[in-house]
Amino acid sequence: MSEIFSRTSPATGAALSDVEATPLDGIEAIVAKAREAQASWAALEVSKRVKAIMSVKRRILAKAEAIAKTVHDETGKPEVEALLGEVLASADVVGYWADTIADELEPFEAEIDALSYPKKSGLIHRDPRGTIAVIMPWNFPFALPLRTMIPALMAGNAIVFKPSEVTPRTGKVVAELFDGLVPAGLVGVVQGGGDAGARLCGAEVDLVVFTGSPASGRKVAHACADRLVPCTLELGGKDAAIVLADADLDRAANGIVWGAMMNAGQNCGAVERVYAEKSIAKALTDKVVAATRALRTTDDVGPLTTSAQRDTVVRHVEAARTAGAVVHVGGEPIDDEKSKLGYRPTVLTIDADENPVIADETFGPVLPITSVADADEAVRRANASRYGLTASVWTKDLRNGEALAKKLRAGVITINNHSFTGALPSAPWGGVGETGWGITGSPLALDHLTRPRFVCVDRNRASREMWWYPYTDTLKQIALAFARLRGGASLGGRIGALFTLIGLLPKRMGELKAASKGAAAKTSSK
């Protein structure tokens, strides 16, 4: 087995099954096979594609416990968390798209001005992109790929999926869900590390959907730019929770602790910063510390998934301590008989925007709290991040919360909750800044997974259109009249332009008829 793959479970330390890496020189063949299968798949009626993929939901639910255990073994997250956030959420994704995608793919009519373009109509169709490379990370190894794969396949695309080298076994489970339901080769799998991902980006794919780090995302963007193919990039976050003085502090504390510690904080939508108004900052901190102390390691919060991630967490907490942060709970690794990757859920207070624990993505069970003077300061500091994925506002004044949401530089904002919308298939998920670009979830995702095709039908039987040759002064005057009529003049000027058009159009029709007769005469004389 290649050394690129994790060989022991972060949860138990037990050996994991071997995984065979895909030879780099075999990746192009996998892509070619997917492309070949895609043509016949796209030709099927949408209802037939949906019926085939709908069976994936039944397979997910029937194998729920086994899937959750595989995710637990590879990532370390508690099985109940895998069941809720990955298994059930993914079943919901299948059901949502099965119910909605036919309507979303229905062609719709383009508005065409009948005066300027008489007897013309056009339909806008959503065509599949073709063959899509789906390159996914290890933190949600089951749910994240399916959020893209399900609508992409129902829309008529082929998929070549590269799971993380940290979670290749879960990736294999994802791919096997489609066995026997779709044409052979339509869902291809590439197992390997960054070199395999780079080779896949350079193959003949029509779109790359990537979730990972900003550094890797930039490489994907460059590779796609070289080939002039589109990509979507979801590259992480440093999400802020703003707690106002009127918030329900019990709900805020419990919700923020869950949003920060779920999946051991290894969630691009995790709460990684809290800005609390000064009058309630201490009371909130006390409640957050109490809720964090009540968490049970292993049962509630699993270990970090990789040693590199735990190293990052250690580095960020130590940098915070050096900057004068007060660590209220946690702040140290956990080494037990089973796992060597645990880290105690940590709450600290700090006021240093440039510190790594505030500025950089920690991706671990660490929650920094900062006291601020008011909501304006909270919004300003929340928006100072180079990331912009999600944020939350905690307040009893919902109208004020919604007003603050409009000021936040983030793609997803929740009032009195955090992060859970990633499990809603009907809700868009995406951000700004170094979070990247592109959307998963909601019909907006189809803007990436399909391409528009416009079919225009012209029922005009005249030998020439008004704007065709010959160009004459009459045509120029008609164009100027249109300019006035469309807003380039006062009301009186527009009325005058309309009468001008009425007078000039017959003259122009005569010019075109004469031109056609002249052309016909020249043709017959030959």
Residues tagged active-site: 234, 268
Which residues face 333 on adjacent strands? Answer: 343
Residue appearing with tokens 């489970």: 173
For 455, phi then psi, to 5°, come to -115, 115
As given in the structure block, the two tokens for residue 18 are 């071997």
What is the DSSP-derived secondary structure letter of residue 333?
Answer: E
Pick from 513, 436, 439, 505: nearest CA to 474:
505
Nearest-angstrom CA–CA distance, 516 and 509: 11
For 52, phi then psi, to 5°, come to -65, -45
Which residues 6+ apart lie within 8 Å of 62 measured at CB? none
CB count in 10 Å sphere of residue 522: 9
Nearest-angstrom CA–CA distance, 48 and 321: 59
Nearest-angstrom CA–CA distance, 39 and 430: 30
Nearest-angstrom CA–CA distance, 326 and 317: 10
Which residues 6+ apart lie within 8 Å of 24 measured at CB? 192, 195, 196, 199
Nearest-angstrom CA–CA distance, 159 and 205: 9
Half-sphere exposure of residue 260, counting CA atoms within 13 Å on the CB side? 28
Torsion on CA atoms 267, 217, 11, 272, rounded to nearest 10: -30
Q: Where are the alpha helices (DSSP H) in 158-206?
A: 168-176, 194-201
As given in the structure block, the two tokens for residue 302 are 């699993």
Pick from 240, 243, 304, 249: nearest CA to 272:
240
As given in the structure block, the two tokens for residue 261 are 């510690």
Which residues 6+ apart lie within 8 Å of 52 measured at CB? 181, 182
